[in-house]
Amino acid sequence: RSGFITIIGRPNVGKSTLINYLIGEKLSIISNKPQTTRNTIQAILTRDEFQMVFIDTPGIHKPKHKLGEYMVRIAVNSLNDVDLVLFLTTPEETLGVGDKHIIEQLKNVKTPVILVINKIDTVKRDVTAKTIDNYRHEYEFSDIVPISALTGENVDNLLKVMVSKL
Ligand code: GDP
Ligand code: MG
C-alpha cells in the first residue's frame, strides 16, 4: 500500500520529531523549512509492506499568518488532496483555541484524519484519557492514537493504523 500523508498541528507539538523518528534521521528528509514550503515532499518512508510520502501542506497549521478566505480554501483543498491527515496535538485538560481552529477547518475535509496525541511521556495516563474524551466529542476522527515521538512509545501501533487507512 502507498499514499500521501500530511501532518498538521500547532507549532511545537512534535511534527518534525515524529517524522525524524519514523525516518530515523537519515537522508530521506528532503525539506525541513516549514515556513517556506508549499506542498513539498518532506520525507518518504519505504518498508516492505508500504510506502508513505509525507507532504508539507500550507496554511492550516500556521495560525500566526492571518489567513484570508482564499488562503483557508487553499489550505483545506490541500488536505483533501492527500490520502491521510495526521492531526498532532498534546495531552491537555481542555481544548485550546489553536486546536479548535484546526478542528473548524477539518469540518470541510473529506480525507480521513487520525488524531495523534503526542508527548504522552510528559503526563499521567488520566490526562491522556481526558484528552481523548474531549476530542471525541469535537470531530469524527478516523482513529485516535496516543504516542511519544521522543521515546517511540506506541509509534509502531500508529504506523499500523496509518497503513490500515491507505
Ligand atoms: P513541531 O513544531 O511540531 O515540528 O515540533 P518539534 O518536532 O520541533 O518539537 C518541539 C519540541 O517538543 C522539541 O523540543 C521536541 O524535542 C519536543 N518533543 C517532540 N515530541 C516529543 C515527545 O513525544 N515527548 C517529549 N517529551 N517532547 C517531545
Ligand atoms: Mg517542525
> pLDDT category, 105, cuts 50, 70, 90?
confident
Give 71-74's long-range contacts (Cβ < 8 A, gap of 24+).
72/105
Report, as an integer, the average pLDDT of 74-89. Answer: 91
Ligand 1 atom with least separation from CA of 17 = 7
Domains along the chain with CATH numbers: 2-165 (3.40.50.300)
- Which residue has cell 511534527? 15
The listed range with the strongest mean pLDDT (40-49, 62-71, 126-135) is 126-135
Residue 142 CA to ligand 2 centre (angstroms): 24
Ligand 1 atom with least separation from CA of 34 = 4
Residues 6+ away with beta carbon under 8 Å from 51: 1, 2, 44, 45
pTM of the model: 0.89
Tell me if 102 is assigned to a ligand binding site: no
Least confident of 5-19, 32-46, 50-64, 122-136: 32-46
Alpha helix positions (H), 10-154: 15-23, 69-80, 97-106, 125-136
Residue 70 CA to ligand 1 centre (angstroms): 31
Query: What ipTM was predicted for this assembly?
Result: 0.99
Tell me if 134 is assigned to a ligand binding site: no
What share of the chain in percent tops pLDDT 70? 84
Report, as an integer, the average pLDDT of 7-28. Answer: 82
Tell me if 57 is assigned to a ligand binding site: yes
pLDDT on residue 125: 95
Q: Do 54 and 135 touch, CB atoms closer than 8 A?
A: no
Q: What is the pLDDT of residues 44-64, one digit of tens each?
A: 899 999 999 998 876 565 555
Residue 119 CA to ligand 1 centre (angstroms): 7
More confident of the two residues 16 and 59: 16
Alpha helix positions (H), 35-115: 69-80, 97-106
pLDDT on residue 106: 92
Tell me if 112 is assigned to a ligand binding site: no
Rg of the chain (C-alpha set) = 15
Q: What is the pLDDT of residues 20-35, one digit of tens each?
A: 898 885 544 444 555 4
Ligand 1 atom with least separation from CA of 122 = 26
Closest-lying ligand to the alpha carbon of 11?
Answer: 1
| Bridge partners of residue 55, in order along the sequence | 6, 41
> Distance between CA atoms of 62 and 143, rounded to whole angstroms?
24
The listed range with the strongest mean pLDDT (12-16, 79-83, 104-108, 158-162) is 158-162
